[in-house]
A and B are shown apart, each in its own frame.
Chain A
Amino acid sequence: MTQEKPVFPYIPNSAPEVKKRMLKEVGANDIMDLYAEIPQQLRFPGQLDLPEPILDEYSLKRHLAGLLEKNKNCADYLNFLGAGCAEHFVPAVCDEINGRGEFLTAYVGESYADHGKWQALFEYCSLMGELLDMDVLSCPLYDGAQAAATSVRMAARINGRREIIIPRTMSPESRLVLRNYCQPELSLSEVGFDPKTGQLDLDELRKKVSARTAAVFIENPSYLGFLEGGAEEIGKLAKHHGAEFIVHTDPTCLGVIAPPVHYGANIACGDFQPLGMHMQAGGGQAGFIATVDDMKYVAEFKDLMFGITDTVQEGEYGFGEVLFDRTSYGSREKGKEYTGTTTGLWAITAAVYLSLMGPKGMEQTGRTILQMSQYAAKRLARIRGVQAAFDSPFFKEFVLNFDKTDKTVAQINEALLEKKIFGGKDLSKDFPELGQSSLYCVTETKTQEDIDTLVSVLEKVI
C-alpha cells in the first residue's frame, strides 16, 4: 500500500483538489512547469536528507519538550551567572503583551495599519529617553555589544578619527564584537586598571588619549561590576582632546545610579535585556544607543527612527520615518553602516516594563539589587579563603577571588553544579591577572535564603 501524501495544516493549497484546480488555472500540467527557469543541471536530484517528519502536533510538542527538558534551567537551579545576561524579574504583563499575535507577527507595515507598533516603538524611545535623561534614540540594535560597536563608529564618523580607547576590563564578548566591527579602519587601544579597585588607570589614559582619539569608551557599571568613580574625569579628558565620551551602562541601575549624561557622556549605549526579557540563553539581548539632541549625533544613527508628527486630522498624532536616507534602506552602501531586522519585540517589551515600573519601581529595583548584591558579597567574603577582588562600590555583579583556597573556579563550579547551583562566571581565562576569580551576579530575584544557601554550600565545597 502506498502511503498517502499528507495535507499540511499550514499549507492550505496542499489539498490535492485545490492544487490541481490552481495548476489548471495557471496553465500548467505539472508543478515542475512552474520551475521552467531553473536549468536541469541546477536542480537537486532526489530528496533532501532530513529526518522523518513529525506530522502531528501532539507528537511534535512532546518531542520539543523532551529536548528542552534536557536543559537544566534557572527556575530549578540557583543561578549566579551574569556577565552580560542577567536573571531579572519579568512582570507577567510583559509576557502578555509580547505574546500578542498582532505584535508577534507584524513586520515592516506602514504607520497606518501598524500605527500601534510605531507608537509602541516611539514609546520605547521616549521611556528610555527619560531613564537615560537623553532626547534621541533610534529603533533598537541587536544587542549591547553591537550597540557599543556602532557607538564608536558613530564617534569616528563625527570626528573623522581612527583610534578608540577601551578599558582592559571590558566585557570579552563585547570586545570580540567590537574588534570585528572596527575592522579595517579603526584601531583599539586598551587602558589598564588599578588591581586593588578595578578603576580605570587615569595616568595611562592621560598618556594614551590624544588628538587622534575618536572616542573614549567605558562601561559603567563595568563588566566586572564595579562603578567607575572617575567617570566624570575620564569624560573631561576625552573631551579635552576633542574625542567623544561613550558610556555603556546597565539600564537597571538607573533608578539609583546617575545616567551617563549626568557625568558628561554625549553617547550612551547598552543592553536592555534586563528590562522585561527572559534570558533565553542570550536570546533576550537587545541594544540601545542614546544621544543628546544635536544633529551632529542624530545624523549618525544607523537604524530607523520613528518621529511623531501631525496627520491631516487636527489633534491626531501620526508617525513617520526620520532622515530615512541616513539608513541603508534609503541609500544602500552610502547609508550609515547597515540596518535590518533587529529586536523590535524586545523594545516593545521594554516599553511595557518601564511603564509598569515608573520612577519608583526603577528606584526600588536598583535599591534591592544594590542591597542583595552587597549582602552576598559580604557574606561570601567571610568564607575562609574567599575574598572580594576589588574594594570599589559595585552594582549587581562583583568579583570573588579564590586564590587562597586550594581549588580552581572550575572545580568549585563543578561542585556547586552538583548542588543545583550555577556558580559565577570563571574569569581565569579572560582575566588571568585576576588569578582564580569568578564574577557573581546577584539581582532582585535572589532572596536572603538563596544567598545563605550559596554560602553554606560554598563553605562545604572549599
Chain B
Amino acid sequence: MGRDQATLLRKFHQARWDEPIILELSVPGERGILVRKVEKGVRDEVEDGIASIPESLRRSVPPKLPEVNQVRVLRHFMHLSQETMGTDVTIDISQGTCTMKYSPKVQEHIATRHPGMAEIHPLQPDISLQGLLEIIYKLDCFLQAISGLDRFTFQPGGGAQGVYTGASIVRAYHAARGDVNRTEVITTMFSHPCDSAAPATAGYKIITLMPDDLGYPDMNALKAALSERTAAIFITNPEDTGIYNPRIAEYVKAAHDAGALCYYDQANANGMLGITRAKEAGFDLCHFNLHKTFSVPHQCMGGSVGAVGCRDELKKFLPVPRVGFDGKRYYLDYEANGSIGKVRSFFGNPQSLVKAYAWILHHGADGLREAAECAVLNNNYLEKKLKEVPGVSVRYSADKRKLEQIRYSWEKLYEDTGVGTEDVMRRMADYGLQHYWMSHHPWIVPQPFTLEPCESYSKDDLDEYVAVLRQISKEAYESPELVKNAPHNQVVHKVPEPSIDQPERIAVTWRQYLKKAAK
C-alpha cells in the first residue's frame, strides 16, 4: 500500500457509483421529508388556504419532481460529492489563476454553523447586527492596508461582478464630471475575460492589447489606443503568464495623462501580499477575489465576493449600503448620493466575509507576507522541475522570475507525439490530480496549461505533481493512444468531440433530454 516511493505515483481510481439522474430514482409514494402542517386553530380560521386563490392562479398539475426517500436522496448526493475532486481531497495546483488554497475548517465551521451568521436577516436593525457590521468594517480596513486604497465594497458576488462594479463606478465618475465622450475601455489579452466582458456589459467599447515579444501588454499599442475617448484601462499584473510587468506605473501614468481611470484586477494578488500594492503603482480602483487570495472556499463556483476598492475621490460612487462607525456603534448608510446603486441584493455574501476576516487575522502582516513568499517560492520550484519534463516549455520570458503562477505549453509534446494539452489534462486525473486549467480563450500560448502552486502545498506535494506530469509525458512518447483516450480511472469515460451544440441534441435538463431522445 501507499504511494510508490521511487516514482511518487499512486494506484488511483476515483469513486465510480454509476449514479442515475435523481429523476430516475423516483418511486411513486415515497417521501424525502415531511413538512409541518398547521395547527387546528389555524385551520379553523383559514381552512385549506387555497380557497382564496383564484382558480386561474392555482397550480392544476403538480410538478413532476421525483419522489425519493430521504436515505436514498442522501446517498445519491453523497455519491455525487465523492465523484467530485474538491481541493480538500487533492493537490490542487492545477487550477491556475484560481488560487486553490486551503480553506481553513475553523472559519468554515463558525461562519456556516453559528446562528449569529446563519440565522440573521439582512434587514434587521443595525443595532442587532453589530457583530457582522464590525467584521465588515474591519475587513474593509484590512484590505485598505493591503492595497493602499481608501475604501472597499463587498457587495459583488464574485470577481467578475466586482469588475462590473468597477466599470459602473468608472461610468458614474465620468458622467458626474460631464465627460460623456469616454466610451472606450482598454484591456489586455492576458487579463481575465471579465476585464473585457464586464465593461462591455456596462456599455463600453473594448480595445484589447496583445502581448509583445516578452509577454507584456504592448506599451506602444497602449499609447496608440489612449485618447479622449478612453474611460479606463482594466489591467492585471502579473497577468495569466505570471510575469510581473515592471513598467506597470508607466502604463498607469499614460492612462491618467489621457484622463482615464485605472482599474487593477487583483484576482492574482496572492504572491504580492505585503510586497507591492495597488496604491504605489498608481491605480484608482482594484478588486480582490476573497475566494482566491483570502481563502474563502470556491464552492463549485460560488457564492463568493469580489471586494472592490477605490481611492477617496471615487468613494461616493460605491454601492449602498455602506458600513460606518461613529466611535461607538457600527451603522448602515443607505444614502445614495452619487452611488451606482446596487449590483446585488443586500450585502453580497457576508458569510464569506467572516472567513476572509478570520484568515487575515490569523496570519497578520508577517503571515500574509509568508503566504505570498511561499506561493512564489513554490511557483519557482515547480517551474524549475517542470522545465525538466520532456515536452514542457514556458513561452514568455522563460529566464525571468515569475510570481504566483505560470502559463506553460505542451507545444513540443504535441509536435513530437500528437498528444495535446487536452489529452494530458484528461489523463492527469487518472493519477488522483484535478485536471489542470488550460487557458482563457483565445489560446495565445499553444497547447497551454496554467498552474498555480499556492502556499498551501508542500514540497512533497509539488514533487508528486511533477512526477505525474513526467509520467504522462513519458506515456505520450511511448503510447500516445493511452493518453489520447483518457480518462481510464475516472467516474466516466471520454466524451467524444461534442455534437452537444446541435439544437436537436442540446439537453440542459432531464425533461429536455427525454423529449429529444424520444424523437
Contacts and interface: CB of A to CB of B under 8 A. Distances in A.
5 contacts: A68-B114, A81-B123, A262-B59, A282-B346, A358-B26
B67 A73 contact: no
B33 A357 contact: yes
Contacts of A103: 81, 84, 86, 299-300
Contact of A422 (B121, B198, B340, B343): B121
Interface stretch (B95-103, B222-230, B255-263, B411-419): B95-103
A173 B206 CA distance: 30
Contacts of B381: 22, 25-26
A339 B455 contact: no
A312 B346 contact: no
B303 A286 contact: yes
A129 interface: yes
B64 interface: yes
Contact of B492 (A135, A137, A316): A316
B121 A74 contact: yes
Residue among A72, A112, A357 facing the most chain B CB atoms (10 A cut-off): A112
A263 B60 CA distance: 12
B301 A329 contact: no
A209 interface: no
B360 interface: yes
B142 interface: yes
A250 interface: no
B193 A328 contact: yes
B128 A338 contact: no
B89 interface: yes
A68 B194 CA distance: 34
Nearest to B456: A10
Interface in B128-160: 128-132, 134-135, 142, 145-146, 148, 157-160
B358 to A, nearest CB: 6
Contacts of B500: 307, 309, 320-322
Given A143-B344, A347-B300, 12 more contacts: A13-B455, A14-B370, A35-B403, A74-B119, A113-B90, A116-B81, A133-B63, A231-B57, A312-B495, A340-B161, A341-B303, A342-B301
A102 B491 CA distance: 14
A196 interface: no
Contacts of A371: 38, 42-43, 46, 48-49
Contacts of B322: none
Interface string A104-125: 1111111111111101111101
B364 A109 contact: no
Interface in B262-284: 272-277, 280-281
Interface string B226-251: 00000000000000000110101100
Interface string A4-25: 0110101111100011011101
A11 to B, nearest CB: 5
Nearest to B142: A50
Contact of B31 (A21, A279, A329, A358): A358
A131 interface: yes
A133 B62 CA distance: 10
Contacts of B499: 309
A28 B351 contact: no
B474 interface: no
A227 B53 contact: yes
Nearest to A84: B345
Contact of A130 (B116, B194, B511): B511
B508 interface: yes
A119 B67 contact: no
Contacts of B274: 44, 47-48
Contacts, number: 737
Contacts of B457: 12
Interface string B355-382: 0001011111111111101101110110
Contact of B62 (A79, A97, A359): A359
Given A123-B22, A258-B58, A280-B351, A343 B303 contact: yes
A425 interface: yes
B65 A131 contact: yes
Given A13-B378, A306-B508, A60 B343 contact: no
Interface in A67-107: 67-77, 79, 81, 83-85, 87, 89, 91, 93, 95-97, 99-107
B168 A44 contact: no
Interface string B496-511: 1011110101111111
Contacts of A36: 400-401
Given A10-B455, A345-B302, A332 B208 contact: yes
B interface, size bucket: 35 or more
Interface residue tally on A, bucketed by range:
35 or more
A445 to B, nearest CB: 8
B404 to A, nearest CB: 10
A230 to B, nearest CB: 10
Contacts of A60: 106, 358, 361-362
Given A107-B300, A313-B493, A65 B110 contact: yes
B122 A330 contact: no
A65 B111 CA distance: 9
Given A41-B280, A73-B116, A280-B350, A352 B301 contact: no
A364 B512 contact: no
A283 B437 contact: no
A181 B171 CA distance: 12
Contacts of B50: 256, 367, 370
A285 interface: yes
B508 A305 contact: yes
Sorted from nearest, which 5 A-B pairs have the closest CB atoms? A340-B160, A53-B364, A282-B346, A116-B83, A68-B116
A111 B509 contact: no
A368 B35 contact: yes
Contact of A14 (B361, B374, B380): B374
A40 B114 CA distance: 45
B513 interface: yes
Contacts of A340: 158-161, 194
A53 B197 contact: no
A19 B115 contact: no
Nearest to A279: B121
A329 B398 CA distance: 27
B326 to A, nearest CB: 16
A31 B373 contact: yes
B299 A119 contact: no
A76 B115 contact: yes
B412 to A, nearest CB: 23
Contact of B276 (A44, A110, A341): A44
Contacts of A414: 125
Interface stretch (A236-244, A372-380, A399-407): A372-380
B80 A19 contact: no
